[in-house]
Amino acid sequence: GRVLVKAINKKRTFSSRPSPSPSPSPSHTLLMDQSKERYCYNPSLHWNPQVEEYFSKAYGAEAFSRISKALTRPSCYSCIRVNTLKVTTESVIEKILEIQHEKKLQDALKNLHTDADKSVKVSERVIGSTAETSPVFKCQIPGLDYVVFVKGSGPHDIQYDYQQDRPPKEVIVSRKCAEAVLRGAQVYVPGILACSAHVEKGDKVAVSVGVEQPGRNGDWATGITHPQYIERDGLYIGQGITTLSRAGIFRDLSGLGVDMTDRVFRLASFNDVLKGDIFLQNLPSIITAHVLDPQQGERILDMCAAPGGKTTAIASLMKDKGEVIAVDRSHNKVLEIHNLAAELGLNSITAYKLDALKAVHKDKLNGTVTQCSSEDKVSQTSQQAESASDEETKKGPYTSKAELRKQIRRMKNGPGKNQSTGGRVNKCEGFSPNSFDRVLLDAPCSALGLRPRLFAAEETTESLRRHGKYQQRMFDQAVQLVRPGGVIVYSTCTINPGENEALVRYALDTYKFLSLAPQHPKVGGPGLLGRYESSDGYFEEWLKPGEEDLVQRFDPSGPHDTIGFFIAKFNVGPKEA
């Protein structure tokens, strides 16, 4: 049951139709060709023209084209960080193999028509030759033996039962939903935008994506009506079985809508699997925590910590011995960090609600923190509201259509920034300068390295420049908070040099006591050299010769099949008065 490579090298045809006749008519052949062009996954990532020109100059047109194509596809493996404070890597591998066997995933992967054998070869430098004998294997990078890879496959060719004058029944999902499905998720009701007529529970449906298209007013909108029908060509992500009728899909606010059976990319889902024992995390994020090199007994700050993946990785590397301070400005995200630390059994983490731009205490006190009772959103108020709602329900209250629309939006989009999901958090007033041994700034960014990505045109050159300025302000806070002799690690999940190499240039030119430090492990490629100047007079300075190999840039089209990511590590020398 472990010979995945042999299985994926075989070809598979997803078809529930009779084989075509030996001599198909010209009209039938034309119909099949049109069907293949439409019912496939071949997306083209649209960029703002000025942004595309900027990236083409930074990387070269051919390299940027490869990056743009890679961003539309997920990595063909899942990366898992094992909580070695609770379990061993070997026991996790054994459990995952048992789970896969029980779900008969190995049987479903037989006779696949895919080029996944390519992903095995190109990733071998990271995952090792054991990938040839098992679909679940330990990372071979020195020091990362607690990282496990679970191999996926794709893209697959899927036939959608297209017949002349009778296209397949179809469900159109939002872009965010589709990106999750490409990573292995199911289709849930809030993610469904539209559905063919006469769809009943148990019907087989093609699942397509409603990607934003240019609107009349220069904005972007999702085209799901008939005039935009052609816009879904090449944006079909698989087939599934509906769990509700069309009426049920648009009546219910939550729950499973389509159970995906045939997928363009097949990646195992780890939702609620081995909770507390494993954490699904991108490889560059795991490497970032290693590059920080936290030591037992140290005081570490994670400045923009949500959802807590790197925070918990740092605490695990310290064997849960030391002090890890995690901050985020969102109440709900701080709760996520609390919950993840509790799930993984980590006691060295303390999370606070704090805007990273205000991380340095104004009065330079002793870094004291205070609990804020106003943040206790588990309050009796919501409980009273619930009981009041129950009483009203018994009386049969009238609910306006506007209120129903609000409830639907909340179900689809989650609570707003001013709406807490409940739970107590500590509010922090900031910390004293020089009060941390190491600081991680995984900065909020344009996120243009995340994959799969089906839309990128919302970013403009102006918005990218604003991201860079915002990150400089955060970095200024980090420099004040770390002690002389300490370490700062800066990371982003974007391919934008203005948020990566330009930040490094700003840091080294502004703070002469900072120097780039070698990174271990070193997996990513070199940074970008030189500078960029636009026609409007804006310019960016990037790295100087000799600095490029001291940073790590992860190319999504590169040999390791990761997200786009950037890591820089700074040693902090004696600070000037």
Catalytic positions are: 493
577 is in an annotated binding site: no
304 is in an annotated binding site: yes
**117, two tokens:** 């054998």
Taking the C-alpha atoms of residue 230 and residue 209, their distance in angstroms, rounded to an integer, is: 12
For residue 155, is the peptide bond before it cis, meaning its omega torsion is within 30 degrees of 0? Answer: yes
377 is in an annotated binding site: no
8 A C-beta contact, residue 13 and residue 156: no
58 is in an annotated binding site: no
8 A C-beta contact, residue 564 and residue 556: yes
309 is in an annotated binding site: yes
Please give the backbone phi and psi of residue 4, each rounded to the nearest 5 degrees, phi first. Answer: -70, -40
Taking the C-alpha atoms of residue 114 and residue 13, their distance in angstroms, rounded to an integer, is: 10
Maximum pairwise Cα distance, the chain: 85
Taking the C-alpha atoms of residue 228 and residue 233, their distance in angstroms, rounded to an integer, is: 10
306 is in an annotated binding site: yes
Kind of pairing, strands 426-427 and 370-371?
antiparallel
With helix as H, strand as E and coil as C, how does 328-393 read? Answer: ECCHHHHHHHHHHHHHHCCCCEEEEECCHHHCECCCCCCCCCEECHHHCCCCHHHHHHHHHHHHHH
Taking the C-alpha atoms of residue 292 and residue 294, their distance in angstroms, rounded to an integer, is: 6
Residues β-bridged to residue 531: 541
DSSP code for 575? P
Q: Return the H-helix or E-strand segment holding 300.
A: strand 299-302
Taking the C-alpha atoms of residue 249 and residue 154, their distance in angstroms, rounded to an integer, is: 29
8 A C-beta contact, residue 471 and residue 488: no
Taking the C-alpha atoms of residue 467 and residue 470, their distance in angstroms, rounded to an integer, is: 5
Identity of the residue numbered 310:
K
272 is in an annotated binding site: no
423 is in an annotated binding site: no
70 is in an annotated binding site: no
447 closest CA partner among 565, 528, 561, 333? 565
185 is in an annotated binding site: no
Task: Please state the residue numbers annotated as binding site for S-adenosyl-L-methionine.
Answer: 304-310, 328, 355, 442
Task: Please state the residue numbers annotated as binding site.
Answer: 304-310, 328, 355, 442
